[in-house]
Amino acid sequence: MAKDLHELPKIRDSISYIYIEHAVIEQEDSSIVAIRADGRVPVPVSSVTCLLLGPGTSVTHAAIRACAENGCMIVWCGDHIGKFYASGMGETRSGENLLLQARLCMDAEAHMSVVRRMYEIRFPKMPTKDLTLQQIRGMEGIRVKQTYKTYASQTGVRWTARSYKQTDWDEADDINKALSAANAILYSVCQAAIVSLGFSPGLGFVHTGKQLSFVYDIADLYKTETSIPAAFEAVQRADGDWEQKLRLAMRQRIVKAGIMKRIADDIAWLFDVPLQENSLNRTDAGELWNGDDALPGGINYEGSV
């Protein structure tokens, strides 16, 4: 019998991500298994938020179905996790949180309130009410720049500036490559959480105009305690081979910081409402738009003509 979607663990209780490359992924019982040259590795998809599939992976239709039934989002990514190719759907079946996000995004006053709350998370002891948006952005730029310098000093990794070209990955130095790869991991985890909670990755508040604008908004809340320190630590310890160490460092940082729980809590605080978690996986017929109210769906309204 297929798993009832109401039985799925909440996003806040899930493992952040698992990265797999050079493997064949098949269904095994109600979960999946990664088959590699060195053996078979079971993957607990019912408690994994995001499965990152790197180069050299082949996955069966049955394995994809098992991931979908267990609410595990799949992301296909490139070498070093440096490129995002495609993603599957999350587990939610409700549009309530998406409609809330759209209302806040399209209302200028509410939109600005969310933006200010995003910066208040970065500066919890500094009131931003009397500051202009330009002043707050300047403060954020200084904060991030100082974070780079701090971890460069702590790790001894040579640092000049954040510099990379999407069209020429190899031109960047190791620390800039590691930062890009670490951010890609964080984006994937945030996207999986956002979609699973029933929000749109594209309806951003600070960022706008991209399909992942809201992902960038949420990920920026956690970079200084996850992707930035993880990148510097990985390059420091790797002696040129930083990819695997980076993934391990990111997983440790994400778990230590409690990112999966905080994403749900922080979005609820940003939007100033309790999230509709009890209806994320609703299986009813939904509703029909009717002006200022809504009508129950799944009903034939022939007699109302």
Range of the domain at 35: 5-87
- pLDDT tens for 128-150 read 777 888 998 999 999 999 999 99
Identify the domain boundary among 34, 58, 87. Answer: 87
Say if residue 251 is in the same domain as residue 194.
Answer: yes
241 in any annotated domain: yes
Quick one: 10 and 147 in the same domain?
no
Is the residue at 14 inside a domain?
A: yes
Predicted confidence at residue 59, as pLDDT, reads: 95
Domain boundary (40, 68, 87) is at 87
Q: What is the CATH number of the domain that holds 175?
A: 1.20.120.920
Instruction: Specify whether 271 is located in the same domain as 135.
Output: yes
**Is 25 within 8 Å of 271 (Cβ atoms)?**
no
The count of domains in the chain is 2
User: Is residue 294 situated within a structural domain?
Assistant: no
More confident residue, 88 or 218: 218
Out of 56, 87, 118, a domain closes at 87
Whether 22 and 74 map to the same domain: the answer is yes
Q: 299 in a domain, yes or no?
A: no
Instruction: Identify the pLDDT of residue 14.
Output: 60
Quick one: how far is CA 299 from the chain centroid?
37
**213 and 109 in a common domain:** yes
Residue 4 has pLDDT above 50, yes or no: no
Average pLDDT value for residue range 107-130: 88
Over residues 22-76, the pLDDT tens digits come to 999 999 988 899 999 889 999 988 888 788 898 999 999 999 999 888 878 888 8
Whether residue 293 lies inside any domain: the answer is: no
Pairing mode of beta strands 31-36, 23-28: antiparallel
Ranges of beta strands (E only) in the chain are 15-20, 23-28, 31-36, 39-43, 48-53, 57-59, 73-77, 84-87, 287-290, 293-296
> Taking residues 221-229, what's their average pLDDT?
96
Same domain for 109 and 70 = no
Query: Does the residue 302 lie in any domain?
Result: no
- Residues 60, 103: one domain? no
Domain co-membership, 228 together with 246: yes
Q: Residues 244-301: pLDDT tens digits?
A: 899 889 989 998 998 888 998 999 999 988 765 544 444 555 676 666 666 666 565 5
Residue 281 falls inside a structural domain? no
Statement to judge: residues 166 and 244 lie in one domain: yes
Give dist(CA 247, CA 251) in Å, integer.
6
Split at pLDDT 50, 70, 90, the class of 179 is very high
Predicted confidence (pLDDT) at residue 229 exceeds the cutoff of 80: yes
Residues 105 and 149 in one domain: yes
Is 152 found in the same domain as 200?
yes
User: 296 lies in a domain?
Assistant: no
> What number is the average pLDDT over the span 162-184?
83
| Cα 187 from chain centroid (whole Å) | 5
Mean pLDDT of 190-200: 85
Judgement on whether residues 110 and 50 belong to the same structural domain of the protein: no
Farthest CA pair distance, the chain: 76
Lowest mean pLDDT among 95-99, 166-170, 203-207: 166-170
Question: Binning pLDDT at 50, 70 and 90, where does residue 3 land?
Answer: very low
Provide the CATH number for the domain around residue 73. 3.100.10.20
